[in-house]
Amino acid sequence: MTTTVVHSVGTASRDYSTWTAWYAAAPLNLVTADQLWRGEGYNDAEFTTTSTLITVSGSTVTDATRYLLMTSASGQGYRDNAGTSGPLRYDATKGVGLRWTAGYGAIISDAHALVVDGLQISYDVTVATNYPPPLSGIRALHNCLIESRQTSGNFINFPGEVVNCLVCMRGSTFSGTALRPTSNSPGVDHFIGNTIVRPSDLAAGGTGISGGGDGFPVVSDNAVFGFTTPFAGTIGSYPAGSGNNASSVASGSIPGSANQASLTFTAQFQTSTDAARDWRPTSGGALVNNGTRQQTYTNDVDIMNVARSTSTPTIGAREYVAPVAPAAQGQGAGISPSVAAAF
């Protein structure tokens, strides 16, 4: 029976003060040790770094049930604190956040043994990052708020799964790729239910999801906006299972069927400009009710742990939640009109 070994990570008398030390303490062979090595971040302070947090480099032997897991402790993540009516974007005051603050390099590199779930990650420097990519080789990214201000290069490189994530490319210019699948592995990588965007007031550029020589991932229920090429490579080569994606380009440039094409970017999100960005879907947008159920990957919840529709989920990381009407006077406290208006 696999033992889940939980350690706290934070700077207020936790087990480890850095993710690097948490990883360094893990057994080299988690299969032999029969352990799932789980790090639970505490938002004692934002985790900032100018050097690579984790380079697993294949040293840790893992399998499907015994691996490294970075997540937030109960009550410490943005899922616990951001609230469903708040803007959907990186905000370290709302939950555990990891931010790269200077220079050039990888936040997480060659981490095939690592799953990241429910964290915020920001590559907060305007640099051209040809290599190494800031996030490389991670086995799975689930329910993460991820932003980058890089101007070129790949951002998330060779992930196995990217599910329910917001990926926002905020560089003043951008000529790179937000998500690049594992090389020569068609159908192995799954990018499901993500919002992959570049703010509408920044010049369109780069690629949202790449295909081609890099392999072709299964892409489903992704909202991809603001890129010159939302989906790169021969569209017909994307594997079966792709579809129900949304973008501003024509239908022939989006993989799979049942896509939402030729959409107006700014009409799909609460605020699509950089400074005030809020990537929650709008009520009248085409993302709502046009997804397909992906319970195997999403467990029928969205990035905020809000239940998704089991019949017609919203495309993208965030499920559309209809505002609750304010209660009539004398009938109890509803949410304020200003909050309701934000939906």
Among residues 16 and 155, whose Cβ is nearest to another protein?
A: 16
- Min separation Cβ 278 and another protein, Å: 34
Token look-up 């004692």 returns 44
Identify the helix (H) or strand (E) that includes residue 174. none
3-state secondary structure 242-253: CECCEECCCHHH
- Min separation Cβ 5 and another protein, Å: 11
d(CA 53, CA 252): 40
Find out whether 181 and 207 touch, Cβ atoms under 8 Å.
no
- Min separation Cβ 77 and another protein, Å: 19
Token look-up 């592995």 returns 185
Contact set with another protein (CB under 8 A): 7-18, 20-21, 24-25, 27-29, 32-33, 50-52, 55, 57-61, 109-110, 130-132
Among residues 108 and 179, whose Cβ is nearest to another protein?
A: 108
Find out whether 65 and 88 touch, Cβ atoms under 8 Å.
no
- Min separation Cβ 219 and another protein, Å: 24
- Min separation Cβ 8 and another protein, Å: 8
- Min separation Cβ 175 and another protein, Å: 15
Among residues 25 and 203, whose Cβ is nearest to another protein?
A: 25
Contacts of 58 (CB under 8 A, 6+ apart): 110, 112, 113
Among residues 17 and 228, whose Cβ is nearest to another protein?
A: 17
132 preceded by cis ω (within 30°)?
yes
Residue from 251, 269, 276, 272 nearest 318 by CA: 269
Among residues 124 and 300, whose Cβ is nearest to another protein?
A: 124
Among residues 33 and 321, whose Cβ is nearest to another protein?
A: 33
User: For residue 282, how many C-alpha atoms fall within 13 Å in the half-sphere facing its CB?
Assistant: 14
Among residues 101 and 312, whose Cβ is nearest to another protein?
A: 101
Identify the helix (H) or strand (E) that includes residue 321. none
User: For residue 308, how many C-alpha atoms fall within 13 Å in the half-sphere facing its CB?
Assistant: 32
- Min separation Cβ 297 and another protein, Å: 27
